[in-house]
Structure 1
Amino acid sequence: MSDLTSLTIAEARDKLRQKEFTSAELTDAYLSAIRGANEKLNAYVTVTEDKARAMAKASDERLAKGDGGALEGIPLGIKDLFATKDVHTQACSHILDRFTPPYESTVTQNLWNAGAVMLGKLNMDEFAMGSSNETSYYGPVTNPWRSKQSNENLVPGGSSGGSATAVSAFLCAGATATDTGGSIRQPAAFTGTVGIKPTYGRCSRWGIVAFASSLDQAGPIARDVRDAAIMLKEMASVDDKDTTSLDRPVPDYEAAVGQSVKGLKIGIPKEYRIEGMPGEIDELWQRGIHWLKDAGAQIVDITLPHTKYALPAYYIVAPAEASSNLARYDGVRYGLREQSDDVVDMYEGTRSKGFGAEVKRRIMIGTYVLSAGYYDAYYLKAQKVRTLIKRDFDLAFENGVDAILTPATPSSAFAIDDAEMAADPVKMYLNDIFTVTVNMAGLPGISVPAGLDAKGLPLGLQLIGRPFDEETLFRAAHTIEQAAGRFTPERWW
């Protein structure tokens, strides 16, 4: 970590405008950090050095004229799920080998329009399916955090593990990520970073490789709450190419950071006190409650009775949508193609070799629950449960609750190749137990670092907000951040 790479986005933005250094110098500092760390952390699958330097040079020219954008000259990492024109975009899957799209995703185009610089594409779970970043075709990402007195490599969480590791290890100023069931918030919690999943429809999904279309949403992972607010302001927009994006004004989220939480009503759902929850998680939750209460917020107990059905319902809805979305990868138009004289054999061979084990598992689950005779019993019922989950939140907000505070994860980061997780996929799926409800209801949720466990690993708290009220989440998250302090890993890589 150099003096330049240690700066937050807000700090670097201000110093660039004051001409204390150039974007070219800042970009070179990050490229140097990536060269020194990526072999051990495996956060980047592609580093776009030439493109980064060209974008930084253009930013410096705009800054010299005094007409730079909101992110002018700021180097960012981009999750491999976002289409980037003429640059590697494979969703970290073998089936999309050598695919370089001739177009740009709306979210990344918004960032480039704001002056941001692209450092490269970040590792992730294949097709965003995973909670540990171990399903990537390019191998697992390593968390920059380690337990006290241990050299064991830990997972960074998933699916946005490359984004979280790159931000935590100072390999980019901020990163794009996506969240289908917790894929921004869980890795943020595991790496001591801030991650926000905005309301469904706040950011365009156009140009983002689809996992589950009714659940997927883009958002940022950043070093602190202010940086997350700055990034989300530029990522969010309505988009004619995505009919699920909503035409609503995008607030100045940064202006909300630092505002008082006095008078806010914070709900504490009893259903999130799950059986067997570690004492450290409950203690962290209680600290968060006290911090908000001391800052003037009103704490109220609430009930979200259908929470216990969220995880099973999610693992019906998400795989069902995935099986439909991934049907397009057949070896005909782009990516991997296993040669055969028979078209059916070509389809089967391509999909068999192109998809990893976890993606195949979810495709098969999704195809099963959508099949004749099972659609009503599984998929239709899961959608009805989803409606009830959303209604629980609606009632809480109708009763005056402004935000809901919960843990972000049931534990801190675990080891890469953890035997128990590998033997039981359901145990891995339980990492999403506190996060999937937010996606099922289409609500905004933010994970903010709140402390360290006994092993010295970061833990996060989650705040859930009303639809399109990300501003309140930034206010409350900043209060927690100020009370908890910031956390950075000790360098070993």
Structure 2
Amino acid sequence: MSIDPATLTIASALEGLAKKEFTSVELTEACIEAMQAAKPLNAMITETPDKAREMAKASDARRAKGEAGLLDGIPLAIKDLFCTEGVLTTAASHILDGFHPTYESTATANLWKAGAVMLGKLNLDEFAMGSSNETSYYGPVINPWRGKNGEKLVPGGSSGGSAAAVAAGFALGVTGTDTGGSIRQPAALCGITGIKPTYGRVSRWGIVAFASSLDQAGPMTRTVRDSALMLQAMAGFDPKDSTSVDLPVPDYLANLEGGVKGLRIGIPREYRMDGMDREIEALWEQGKAWLKEAGAEIVDIHLPHTHYALPAYYIVAPAEASSNLARYDGVRYGLRVPGKDLIEMYENTRGEGFGREVQRRIMIGTYVLSAGYYDAYYTKAQKVRTLIKKDFEQAFQRVDAILTPTAPNAAFPLGAKTDDPVTMYLNDVFTVPVNLAGLPGLSVPAGLNGDGLPLGLQLIGKPFDEAMLLRVGRTLEKAANFTARPQAWWRQ
């Protein structure tokens, strides 16, 4: 039979595999074919079709024995920030040329234990630093959605390749990482679902670090149910990760259809910005109406320190990046550019190996950590972070979840914001507070703007209450009934 992976969800594919309507080998072959056709999107850095076929064949053998796992036979693609044993891992940076890890990240190992199949490694902003997937050494990712005049658009970032792969329909699900919105913002710009779990819910071991106190891995999929399935497989305590939290992982599917009747949904007044896009604001109002109609109580809440979240984030994140990226020096692995002595070799390697945005953030981070500025900037930013966390704690004494827009705009043309880093950083204005507070956040596609481009709504939950977040997200998803798909222009 002819299989079009763009018409399948993870849940429907699992059903088809269980009913023997197709095999994992057949499904994987269809995804590989679709992946090859989608090359104009530049969503992949490394394709692993032979590995995928082997894994699919093993999955079919397990299913024949009645030993199928949670995601058995499902083709997934992996953001190239996750170390994959024996498979090139680049973080989309020149400085990691030729790096083939000898180990597997815990998050991806959990997916393979659940029976998933790896299609390859996805493009991203270099070291996950960016909001448009234009900082990659391997070139920008193109959003499967086109502008009203046919112009090429960014997919969001840093998980732009991840979002594009799902929106284009060649991967049924993907992994992303979220340091300041890098799962949720590209999910919104590409019309898909993405969840950033609570900090510590999914192991960070084996994921190339950007900002260690903010980074968190999560799934990006077509539906809320699919995100629940992938998160079920990815989550769990990992003794190799000192920030992993030893809590049982609940059954995320058990109460997914429980609805929102009797729940209290908070609406933070601080997210209503001056000059806010009218279509974004109208969608937010529509989201409130949908949840109210479903039986939720809408509650106005106050998050007074939200205004300081973005500047605090852009001190904390570069500071941690400056420390984490010090290990890339050309000595042990990756790129090495010779010099007349060791110091010059370091300078040459880092100067040639890191792109402009990464260099900018390293320099900002080094500055705020330097003597005389540490207390003025870094210590103050950490104090602000504590206040932001307390704002959420107080709000969650009154509400069960919080509803906001995901991003301040729809997808924008390639190159539109690359010359103005501050304008680019504003893409994270609605998402960074969640990372600073370590909370779970979910983006659900909820409508199209006047140019026919997708817009998302964000739900924020209590720590380790992803089950509640997914439940509210499922209600929002049903009300929005978002079925729009991009035209497959890349196939022409």
- Return the TM-score normalized by structure 1: 0.98
* Aligned residue in 2 for 1:468: 464
* Aligned residue in 1 for 2:421: 425
Letter of the 1:492 partner, please give it: W
* Aligned residue in 2 for 1:10: 11
In structure 2, how many angstroms separate the alpha carbons of the residues matched to 1:340 and 1:429? 35
* Aligned residue in 2 for 1:143: 143
Taking only the aligned residue pairs, the percentage that are identical comes to 69
Structure 2 spans left out of the alignment, 5+ residues: none
CA drift of 1:36 comes to: 0.9
**What pairs up with 1:197-346 in 2 under 5 angstroms?**
197-346=196-345
In structure 2, how many angstroms separate the alpha carbons of the residues matched to 1:114 and 1:233? 10
In structure 2, how many angstroms separate the alpha carbons of the residues matched to 1:182 and 1:327? 24
In structure 2, how many angstroms separate the alpha carbons of the residues matched to 1:143 and 1:437? 26
Structure 1 spans left out of the alignment, 5+ residues: none
Kept in 1, the 8 Å contact 2:3–2:27? The answer is no
Cα offsets for 1:163-186 (capped at 9, x unmatched): 000000001000000000000000
**What pairs up with 1:345-356 in 2 under 5 angstroms?**
345-356=344-355
CA drift of 1:471 comes to: 1.0
Cα offsets for 1:192-244 (capped at 9, x unmatched): 00000000000000000000000000000000100000000100010010010
In structure 2, how many angstroms separate the alpha carbons of the residues matched to 1:300 and 1:143? 36
* Aligned residue in 1 for 2:488: 491
Cα offsets for 1:342-397 (capped at 9, x unmatched): 00000000000000000000000000000000000000000000000000000011
In structure 2, how many angstroms separate the alpha carbons of the residues matched to 1:413 and 1:4? 24
* Aligned residue in 2 for 1:96: 96
Cα offsets for 1:303-345 (capped at 9, x unmatched): 0000000000000000000000000000000000001230000
* Aligned residue in 1 for 2:68: 68
* Aligned residue in 2 for 1:196: 195
In structure 2, how many angstroms separate the alpha carbons of the residues matched to 1:59 and 1:313? 46
CA drift of 1:147 comes to: 2.4
Confirm whether residue 28 of structure 1 aligns to residue 63 of structure 2: no
**What pairs up with 1:156-175 in 2 under 5 angstroms?**
156-175=155-174
| SS of structure 1 residue aligned to 2:38 | helix
In structure 2, how many angstroms separate the alpha carbons of the residues matched to 1:470 and 1:340? 50
**What pairs up with 1:334-413 in 2 under 5 angstroms?**
334-398=333-397, 400-413=398-411
* Aligned residue in 1 for 2:473: 477
CA drift of 1:481 comes to: 0.9
| SS of structure 2 residue aligned to 1:478 | helix
| SS of structure 2 residue aligned to 1:63 | helix
**What pairs up with 1:436-455 in 2 under 5 angstroms?**
436-455=432-451
| SS of structure 1 residue aligned to 2:371 | coil
Kept in 2, the 8 Å contact 1:5–1:29? The answer is no
In structure 1, how many angstroms separate the alpha carbons of the residues matched to 2:456 and 2:19? 34
Letter of the 1:432 partner, please give it: D
Kept in 2, the 8 Å contact 1:167–1:174? The answer is yes
Cα offsets for 1:108-128 (capped at 9, x unmatched): 000000000000000000000
Letter of the 1:312 partner, please give it: P
| SS of structure 2 residue aligned to 1:256 | coil
In structure 2, how many angstroms separate the alpha carbons of the residues matched to 1:352 and 1:48? 31
In structure 2, how many angstroms separate the alpha carbons of the residues matched to 1:169 and 1:192? 10
> Aligned pair in 2 of structure 1 residues 61, 270: CA closer, same or farther (>3 Å)?
same
Letter of the 2:463 partner, please give it: P
In structure 1, how many angstroms separate the alpha carbons of the residues matched to 2:268 and 2:232? 29
Letter of the 2:124 partner, please give it: M
In structure 2, how many angstroms separate the alpha carbons of the residues matched to 1:19 and 1:2? 13
**Runs of 4+, deviation exceeding 2 Å:** 1-5
Kept in 2, the 8 Å contact 1:133–1:155? The answer is yes
Cα offsets for 1:99-148 (capped at 9, x unmatched): 01000000000000000000000000000000000000000000001123
Kept in 2, the 8 Å contact 1:256–1:474? The answer is no
Letter of the 2:132 partner, please give it: S
* Aligned residue in 1 for 2:107: 107
Kept in 2, the 8 Å contact 1:201–1:246? The answer is yes
Kept in 2, the 8 Å contact 1:317–1:382? The answer is yes
In structure 2, how many angstroms separate the alpha carbons of the residues matched to 1:372 and 1:256? 52
* Aligned residue in 2 for 1:123: 123
In structure 2, how many angstroms separate the alpha carbons of the residues matched to 1:422 and 1:99? 28
In structure 2, how many angstroms separate the alpha carbons of the residues matched to 1:415 and 1:381? 36
CA drift of 1:57 comes to: 0.3
In structure 1, how many angstroms separate the alpha carbons of the residues matched to 2:376 and 2:466? 36
Cα offsets for 1:379-424 (capped at 9, x unmatched): 00000000000000000112x3100000000000000111xx1221
CA drift of 1:4 comes to: 4.0
In structure 1, how many angstroms separate the alpha carbons of the residues matched to 2:418 and 2:118? 34
Kept in 2, the 8 Å contact 1:237–1:250? The answer is yes
CA drift of 1:18 comes to: 1.4
| SS of structure 2 residue aligned to 1:76 | strand
| SS of structure 2 residue aligned to 1:446 | strand
In structure 1, how many angstroms separate the alpha carbons of the residues matched to 2:155 and 2:88? 22
Letter of the 1:387 partner, please give it: T
| SS of structure 2 residue aligned to 1:423 | coil
CA drift of 1:2 comes to: 4.5
In structure 1, how many angstroms separate the alpha carbons of the residues matched to 2:178 and 2:152? 24
Cα RMSD of the aligned pairs, angstroms, is 0.9
Aligned positions, number: 488
In structure 2, how many angstroms separate the alpha carbons of the residues matched to 1:167 and 1:255? 25
